[in-house]
Amino acid sequence: MNPNIALEQRLDQLECKCRNLRRIVAGVAVAAAAVLLVAAAPNPAKEALQISKLEVVDKEGKVRIRLGQADEGFGMVVYDSDGKSRATLTDAPRGSVMSLSKKGGSIILMALEEGCGMTIRDEGGKPRALVVQQKGGAEILLKDKEGNTVFSAPK
C-alpha cells in the first residue's frame, strides 16, 4: 500500500471534519444571535398586575403582610413576628373596618351602612371608650375595667 494514498485519505477526512465543524459553529452562532435579538426586543409595560392574593414574607419565610380576600370582602392584614394580626384594613358589603393592636390594647374604626364608630379596647380586649354615630345621633361612652359606663354623652 502506497503511504501517500493513506495520507491523502486521512487529509480528505480531516478536511471533511473541519468543514462540518465550521458549519456547526456557524449554526450555533446564528442561533445565539437569534436568542439575543429576541431577548433584547422591547417588552411593552403591562397596564396592571392582577393576582388574587399577595403575601410578603420576612427572612424566615413567615407571612408579615397579606393582601386579598378577608371574610366577606377584601383587605390587608399586617402580622407581627409571632403571626398575630396587628393591623387590618378591610372592605366588605356591610362596611369598612380598620384596626390596630399591640399588647397594650387596640383601636377599631368602622364605617358601616348604618353609621360609623370607633372603639378603644384595653389589653384584655374589653371596650373602654366608644364613639358611635348613627341616624338617630351620636354617643360617647367611657367604661371602667369591669365594663361599667362611667361617662356617657349625651346623657
pTM of the model: 0.64
8 A C-beta contact, residue 150 and residue 144: yes
Distance, CA of 101 to CA of 54 (rounded, Å): 22
pLDDT in the model for residue 15: 84
Domain range annotation of the chain: 1-41, 50-88, 94-155
Distance, CA of 106 to CA of 141 (rounded, Å): 16
The tens digit of pLDDT for each residue in 93-135 reads 888 999 999 988 999 999 988 899 999 999 999 999 999 998 8
pLDDT in the model for residue 3: 65
pLDDT in the model for residue 21: 86
Q: What is the mean pLDDT of the chain?
A: 87
Residue 14, SS3 per DSSP: helix
Distance, CA of 68 to CA of 91 (rounded, Å): 11
pLDDT (mean) for 33-48: 79
8 A C-beta contact, residue 133 and residue 154: no
